[in-house]
């Protein structure tokens, strides 16, 4: 009996093994990844906060992987051009993206909708940093505190203008949230890039701005602009004497941005897991913390699940900001 059925049993056992083997052969081979340079798409201009984060991270990952990590800046259309590039890339682990809440949360809730679906087309990997934005004014503005700025804006409605780097970005929404909270009217002036915005701020064409990153920090420290408050819940270590907006008469106020690492959907889970693990390790390095602390950024570095769970929460939260501004998509 045993001898008659053993060949058949072996044949039956071989079927699932063959299926498993073919499935393994059909999967992308991740053990050798990366075997060539990895591109990191950044939908912001060179020198902006997320670009600096990307270059710090790229340097650390390149050392870990033994392959170059090339940063490609693709700014434009409220950062959706670069994010679309990631979404449409081959999901093989050789194209990653660093983007923020503007493209992943805010733009998906506005008209016109972006040319990608955050859930269908993108794979969240890890939340990298949160910003501590700074409210600054041109030296000609007779206000040394946020309270004095509010009083000035109330006394001279629409006489002040603020610059922002795009509708839906924290430089825009943060100021609009403050206007709502304080009951003031300051005219919004949009800019296609931060360079032109800073030029006009330095020349006094716009008098107020909320910004973050090395450009704004350098100008505050050089005395070229006056910092009145930071928009985060806690003070920025790089500007320890500048109070928060919450401390300055608006309890509970917080208006920050965040930036995270993404990949095209359908990227092999093994590659995503490795990128996440190596990214969190890179962000935890003391040298990384020191560099990003200097920019007023808060280092995070979390799991894929935690980052993915944040996005719908943020979409719901930001709907409450966009609705009073008439920016929330209704269909």
Q: What is the pTM of this model?
A: 0.83
Rg (alpha carbons) of the chain, rounded to whole number? 24
**Is residue 135 a contact partner of residue 255, using CB atoms and an 8 Å limit?**
no
3-state helix, strand, coil in the chain (%, to 5): 45, 20, 40
Establish whether domains 38-130+257-325 and 134-230 are of one fold: yes
Report the C-alpha gap between 151 and 249 in whole angstroms: 12
With 0-12 CB in 10 A as exposed, 13-18 as middle and 19+ as buried, what is 142?
Answer: exposed
The token duo for 230 is: 């930071």
**Is residue 98 a contact partner of residue 41, using CB atoms and an 8 Å limit?**
yes
> What's the pLDDT at 329?
87
If one counts every other C-beta atom within 10 angstroms of the C-beta of residue 147, the result is 14
**Is residue 75 a contact partner of residue 98, using CB atoms and an 8 Å limit?**
no
Nearest Cα neighbor of 300 from 40, 44, 57 is 57
> What's the pLDDT at 331?
63
**Is residue 260 a contact partner of residue 50, using CB atoms and an 8 Å limit?**
no
Report the C-alpha gap between 319 and 326 in whole angstroms: 10
**Is residue 49 a contact partner of residue 213, using CB atoms and an 8 Å limit?**
yes
Q: What does each of the 331 residues of the chain score in pLDDT, given as a tens digit?
A: 333 334 333 333 333 333 333 333 334 455 699 999 999 999 998 888 899 999 999 999 999 999 999 999 999 888 899 999 999 999 999 999 999 999 999 998 998 899 999 889 999 999 999 988 999 999 999 999 999 999 999 999 999 999 998 888 888 999 999 999 999 999 999 987 777 888 999 999 999 999 887 778 889 999 999 999 999 999 998 899 999 999 999 999 999 999 999 999 999 999 999 999 999 999 999 999 999 988 888 999 999 999 999 999 999 988 988 998 889 987 6
> What's the pLDDT at 31?
64
> What's the pLDDT at 22?
36
Class of 38-130+257-325 per CATH?
alpha beta
Following DSSP, what letter does each residue of 206-255 receive, concatenated? Answer: S-EEEE-SHHHHHHHHTTSSEEEEESSSS--TTSTTSPBTTTTT-TT---
- Tell me the CATH number of domain 134-230, given options 3.40.50.300, 3.10.20.30, 3.40.190.10, 3.90.76.10: 3.40.190.10
**Is residue 80 a contact partner of residue 43, using CB atoms and an 8 Å limit?**
yes
Domain segments of the chain: what residues?
A: 38-130+257-325, 134-230
If one counts every other C-beta atom within 10 angstroms of the C-beta of residue 284, the result is 11
């Amino acid at each position: 009996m045993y001898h008659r059925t053993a060949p058949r049993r072996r044949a039956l056992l071989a079927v699932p093994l063959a299926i498993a083997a073919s499935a393994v052969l059909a999967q992308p081979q991740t053990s050798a990844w990366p075997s060539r340079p990895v591109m990191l798409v950044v939908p912001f201009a060179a020198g902006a906060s997320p670009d600096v984060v990307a270059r710090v991270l790229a340097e650390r990952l390149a050392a870990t992987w033994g392959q170059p990590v090339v940063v490609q800046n693709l700014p434009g259309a409220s950062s959706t051009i670069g994010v679309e590039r990631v979404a449409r890339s081959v999901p093989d682990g050789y194209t990653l993206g660093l983007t923020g809440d503007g493209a992943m949360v805010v733009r998906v809730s506005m008209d016109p909708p972006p040319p990608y679906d955050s859930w269908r087309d993108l794979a969240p990997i890890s939340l990298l940093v949160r910003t501590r934005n700074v409210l600054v004014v041109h030296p000609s503005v007779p206000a040394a505190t946020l309270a004095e700025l509010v009083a000035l804006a109330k006394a001279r409605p629409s006489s002040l203008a603020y610059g922002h780097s795009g509708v839906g970005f924290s430089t825009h929404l943060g100021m609009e949230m403050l206007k709502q909270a304080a009951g003031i009217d300051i005219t919004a002036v949009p800019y296609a890039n931060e360079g032109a915005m800073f030029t006009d701020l330095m020349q006094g064409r716009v008098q107020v701005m909320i910004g973050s990153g090395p450009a704004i920090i350098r100008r505050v420290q050089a005395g070229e602009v006056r910092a009145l408050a930071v928009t985060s819940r806690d003070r920025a270590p790089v500007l320890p004497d500048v109070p928060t907006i919450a401390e300055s008469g608006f309890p509970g106020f917080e208006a920050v941005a965040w930036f995270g690492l993404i990949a095209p959907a359908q990227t092999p889970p093994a590659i995503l897991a490795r990128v996440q693990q190596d990214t969190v390790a890179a962000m935890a390095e003391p040298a990384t913390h020191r560099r990003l602390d200097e920019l007023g950024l808060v280092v995070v570095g979390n799991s894929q699940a935690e980052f993915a769970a944040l996005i719908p929460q943020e979409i719901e939260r930001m709907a409450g900001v966009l609705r009073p501004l008439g920016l929330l998509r209704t269909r």
